[in-house]
Structure 1
Amino acid sequence: MGLTSNNVLWLAVAFAVLLFVGTVWLWPRLARRNWRAVSGRVGLLLGTQLALFMSLGLAANQAFGFYASWADLFGREKDQGVVVNHTALGGSGGPLQVVDTARVRGAGGSPGAGPRTGGQIQKVDIVGRTTHIATPAYVYLPPEYFQPQYRTRTFPAAVVLTGYPGTAEALVDKLHYPATAQNLAKSGRMQPMILVMLRPTVAPPRDTECVDIPGGPKTETFFAKDLPNAVLAHYRVGRKPGSWGIIGDSTGGYCALKLAMHHPGAYAAAAGLSPYYKAPIDPTTGDLFHGDKGLRNRADLWWCLKHLPPPNTSLLVTSSRIGESNYKATLKFIGRVEATKLTRISSIILDSGGHNFNTWRREIPATLQWISGRLSDR
């Protein structure tokens, strides 16, 4: 029986109830002070608590979709996703300041290798010139960025977003974006790219859903204008729209899709890993729209596909047949985008995989190759 099976949950609940009843029933018989009675009491209490925690864990997994299978739970799901196309078709200073540098962990080069061999990760602070939003980020620079033969070359760039609340460090240490990008480029499966990694939560702890909130943070404007301008002011990044892409998981995936659909002149391609397609309203977001119906509609990708001209951009969405709550919505989204005839749509659909890092690690190599193939370095 699968991890997400109702039968497994009910068996765990039944086992916990039986242990509890058994503990109550046997307790008088174990009231003596010899070692066997004491061991029996400890064993019953421990077993009951473990069974209870197991039941709660299975129920939470059912509700939130953390893991899709036993293999997923224990990290044994290793098959990587495959993209399926559904459509034919330098300077310094400025609003970005480098505060720390580190080598790329887990990628090529020895521990003492310099950036020409191993690339570099720079921790930066970014301040939006128009929105005045300030947020930390990590910038991955590939080895080619430092090599003399590429000193006049510009590179394509991809913004990489976490989910909510998320941490930018997780993109480096848990999802391994820099190491994966370096290994793919080294093997010739993608072009060298600059990665700008941060979380969409630019006004913590509030979840702004990449919306320009009336009277609040102009998050969409920050990601569409201020962030690219800050990076362009500091790094050798291509200045044409075709040089920029954006990737995100969960909330970051929704933001990535929305930003490319709203601003195809800024982002030529967007990948949403386990995305949703409409901004939620809950205690973490607060009132995002303040009664502005037009703003609320723009945050609904279904409404955008139906009422706005189709954007000239490329989109990638991912899901799993078992373990992801967005599976049916993702198939519907693919169909809606295909019908536009202009926006390109691709997908990665896994057989199983929950809403978690292990699943996204399986999708990231194919995602990076896909977005690399849609960006230019000029």
Structure 2
Amino acid sequence: GRLSGIESPAYVYLPPEYFRSAYAKRTFPAVVVLTGYPGTAENLLKGLRYPRTAHERVKAGKAQPMILVMLRPTVAPPRDTECVDIPKGPQTETFFAKDLPEAISQSYRVGKQARNWGIIGNSTGGYCALKIGLHHPDRYAASAGLSAYYKAAEDPTTGDLFHGKQELRDRADLMWTLENRPPSSGSFLVTTSRQGEGNLRSTMRFIDKVKAPAQVSSIVLDSGGHNFTTWRREIPPALEWLSGRLSAQ
């Protein structure tokens, strides 16, 4: 990362169209895909099948070809930085909001406008996706949180994230941001289950607090859980949702 100094490995999925002559001069929308904590990027390929699902959605005519940038939010392992810029510590939000899109745009045929970029994740990755989309609508037009929570965790895995600065703790609280900051642009997708999920009530609160010009959509399953089985059910419609809100040019 040019600004953050963070280095983190990622898998990049390029759709078949990327290599076809008919698309040779075309840019593609890009979606950053985040695991939970601690998670591994391989989970996004194998357990959650993002590339396969994206390919199938395009073949079915349900989505446009998109580049997927898949990595874990844990950029300073084993610490869980909750995708915040930690005073005198890892600048994780800057890495995801600024450095990562810049690096990918320089290496692949990806547009550089917010309408070209989306971000999605599950659990901790879902919180990160929503937070980064909320604070950086100039970079990400669409953000999806699968089984997300809405306030930065603070526990032994995170260490001291805010160094006693309440304004930083407030900023990492999505409900506080929606209540106390001017409405942002951008589109948000949140998922939960009526039975089996611990985030049902907070997800409904988030939906209620999103105000125009922002838009919010939801997937509410009758039953599910905080697990791969549930997320595999939600990923196909989530990718379709992202596809419908991102532009190739």
Would you say same fold, with TM above 0.5? yes
> What corresponds to 2:227 in structure 1?
356
Offset of residue 214 of structure 1: 0.3
1:176 aligns with 2:49: yes
> What corresponds to 2:39 in structure 1?
166
2:213 to 342, 352, 368: 342
1:205 aligns with 2:78: yes
1:307 aligns with 2:180: yes
> What corresponds to 2:205 in structure 1?
332
Please state whether the residue corresponding to 1:373 is helix, strand or coil. Answer: helix
> What corresponds to 1:259 in structure 2?
132
Q: Distance in 2 between matches of 1:376 and 1:237?
A: 10
Question: What is the RMSD of the two structures over their aligned residues, measured on CA atoms?
Answer: 0.6
Offset of residue 280 of structure 1: 1.3
Q: Distance in 1 between matches of 2:45 and 2:145?
A: 18
> What corresponds to 2:103 in structure 1?
230
Percent identity, aligned pairs only, is 67
Q: Distance in 1 between matches of 2:225 and 2:22?
A: 43
Q: Distance in 2 between matches of 1:301 and 1:184?
A: 31
Q: Distance in 2 between matches of 1:333 and 1:303?
A: 10
Q: Distance in 2 between matches of 1:199 and 1:327?
A: 24
Larger Rg, first or second structure (1 or 2): 1
Q: Distance in 1 between matches of 2:21 and 2:203?
A: 44
Please state whether the residue corresponding to 1:310 is helix, strand or coil. Answer: coil
Please state whether the residue corresponding to 1:222 is helix, strand or coil. Answer: helix
User: What one-letter code is carried by the residue in structure 2 that aligns with 1:130?
Assistant: L
**What TM-score results when the alignment is normalised by the length of structure 2?**
0.99
Please state whether the residue corresponding to 2:107 is helix, strand or coil. Answer: coil
2:94 to 205, 221, 231: 221
Number of matched residues?
249
Offset of residue 187 of structure 1: 1.4
Offset of residue 324 of structure 1: 0.3
> What corresponds to 1:191 in structure 2?
64
Offset of residue 240 of structure 1: 1.5
Q: Distance in 1 between matches of 2:100 and 2:6?
A: 10
**What TM-score results when the alignment is normalised by the length of structure 1?**
0.65
Q: Distance in 2 between matches of 1:280 and 1:224?
A: 20
Please state whether the residue corresponding to 1:341 is helix, strand or coil. Answer: coil
8 Å contact 2:185–2:212 — kept in the other structure?
Answer: no
Unpaired runs of 5+ in structure 1? 1-127
Q: Distance in 2 between matches of 1:266 and 1:241?
A: 4
1:371 aligns with 2:235: no
Please state whether the residue corresponding to 1:205 is helix, strand or coil. Answer: coil
What does 1:279-318 correspond to in 2, within 5 Å? 279-318=152-191
Q: Distance in 1 between matches of 2:93 and 2:180?
A: 20
Offset of residue 341 of structure 1: 2.4
User: What one-letter code is carried by the residue in structure 2 that aligns with 1:267?
Assistant: Y
